[in-house]
Structure 1
């Protein structure tokens, strides 16, 4: 094994470090109750108007799903509760801003470039490359964590935004607890984050699925059209644009793959970029990352349950993509194969810019190259995965299960 290769060999029976044990022991007990979440959000913001009340049903299902997940430990429960409070607080701040500034509703989101693709399929790399072009607006992690400044906080651009300072401290603590996480998925405060956070303010997102096994929520999410929640997310985008331009966005999120129609309904003039990768390579990376984080969140790690959950989840994403891909306008849509993208990133970027009607000028090209030089693949080490050994997966049978996707998109089957 080379010096920068990482092998995590305790996924199912983690050997916790002293700092991890301390963090778990320090987690406060929480009550997964709607009013507990909303009261905490009111106290945090000093506000009380959450806007339309339909979100409460979804919040209640989130919380019930967390209670039903018996494998969650104290730190996992506290983290999910705190996320719900953060989303509710962000919603209060947004609704207050919209009420005080009704002109935000008139802000135009101009021909955004929107990346859809499986997690671990190159979307993070691609969106950060495109976001290096300062003519495009993007949402860094610090802004995704709290899109609207609280009363008294400095607005973005006035020195170091307090939200950036807070996110930097939170993520530094997170990485001290899970030091191998950046090798799988770096979450630097100033790197672009997923716009999935926009729908989270309306409590309709698959984010809880990364942190728990919320079966009840998953089935509720499947059963409901996400168009209203994409519309709510667009209000957040308008508020962000009103705070700080420009108005042409680049953004990305994996759940767009199962919501291509709501996406196109909400942003009809967008350029849609869909990345495609061997789903088995995606699964071994995503499941290893989730299992590694679960050592903090769960009292017992059932790798088979994790595999069953995420194989079905990725299958659902891909079935929906195959079903709805042709409903997107061809003149606005480009499919990006992972192996071709990694072999020639510049060519992919040029094709996206051509489709978006945007000139790839020398300034943008230099900014993109600076990002690439500062963030080479494997910057934090390369994790060696073992889909069959770690998760007991029959690789041949799983490839057959995803035959519908391989036959539709010519992704390269990767060595596992």
Structure 2
């Protein structure tokens, strides 16, 4: 029975969005001993893939074709957030059937849904579904589940209840850079669905969302201990990505094999910085200022020792 199959010590990478989670998960997923949730699986998961189907086959090809078509219409997305058909993708796409997913707010400004999602939703059933989904996906494939979703700080207690032995990693970056970058991403996604996108609303909404995320992960640490989550700085990931991933392995007592390291170097060689263009964005475009953001998130910046850039 699939639902009797265990999911042992899954590793979750999260943090405010645009903080290096994508690079981290791609490096971790390069390890042949690990299993990640692939982009094409978020659209066409049944039947569960066999090992030879994870990175080839008709479902992979269909997603690859969809990706190419999407980039023809929105080429700027590639520089903002690029995923191959078989790239590791985010748990939020796995959670959409439960409606507890940031996907919907990314697509549109829906105040009623936002209020429910952030303040009233029961996240536990969503994570029970999350586990069933993974149990189904792993039917024919092995490997330690290694997952990513920037929004997991919103629902860490539910995650921990369903996955009590989960390994948790949080990335940190200057919130001013985070807000400018996420503003650009959300603006471009919402413009797919609407001709009337309020940029200042995006800025205000995500300041509030990030405050809630930080408060909730702080509360989780207060209950489970500061070291319940392993912290990684975006600046360090950019300077030494494989070294920072090795630190994750060391922290959790996992073997960092020569095979894993070689695969990570191969990924970095194949994906140099700027491969898909440079992401240009402006914090002020969303009604925010670097000084104001640093003031709002000052406690968070100080508590986690986050390097920040001052206004010029």
Distance 2:299 2:37 in 1: 34
Which structure 2 segments of 5+ residues have no match?
none
Distance 2:166 2:226 in 1: 12
Note the 1:46-195 alignment, pairs <5 A: 103-149=1-47, 157-158=52-53, 160-195=56-91
Note the 1:204-215 alignment, pairs <5 A: 204-215=100-111
User: Paired residues, what number?
Assistant: 309
- Residue 120 of structure 2 corresponds to 223
Answer yes or no: is the 8 Å Cα contact 2:173–2:234 preserved in 1.
Answer: yes
Answer yes or no: is the 8 Å Cα contact 2:168–2:228 preserved in 1.
Answer: yes
Note the 1:165-314 alignment, pairs <5 A: 165-221=61-117, 222-246=119-143, 248-314=144-210
Aligned pair partner of 1:380 in 269, 272, 276: 276
What secondary structure, in the 3-state scheme, does the structure 1 residue paired with 2:82 have? coil
Distance 1:409 1:330, change over 3 A: closer
Distance 1:298 1:139 in 2: 29
Deviations 1:56-86 (A, max 9, x none): xxxxxxxxxxxxxxxxxxxxxxxxxxxxxxx
**How much does 1:321 deviate?**
1.9
**How much does 1:155 deviate?**
5.4
Distance 2:208 2:295 in 1: 14
Answer yes or no: is the 8 Å Cα contact 1:226–1:262 preserved in 2.
Answer: yes
Mean CA deviation greater in 123-132 or 345-354: 345-354
**How much does 1:362 deviate?**
0.7
- Residue 299 of structure 2 corresponds to 404
Which structure 1 segments of 5+ residues have no match?
1-102
Distance 1:331 1:321, change over 3 A: closer
Deviations 1:269-301 (A, max 9, x none): 121111111111111011112212333321222
Answer yes or no: is the 8 Å Cα contact 1:322–1:408 preserved in 2.
Answer: no
What secondary structure, in the 3-state scheme, does the structure 2 residue paired with 1:232 have? helix
1:392 aligns with 2:287: yes
What secondary structure, in the 3-state scheme, does the structure 1 residue paired with 2:308 have? coil
- Residue 340 of structure 1 corresponds to 236
1:316 aligns with 2:212: yes
Distance 2:247 2:228 in 1: 11
| Greater relative contact order structure (CA < 8 Å, 6+ sep) | 2
**How much does 1:373 deviate?**
0.9
Answer yes or no: is the 8 Å Cα contact 2:107–2:186 preserved in 1.
Answer: yes
**How much does 1:203 deviate?**
2.3
**How much does 1:331 deviate?**
5.8
With structure 2 as the length reference, what TM-score do the two structures score?
Answer: 0.92
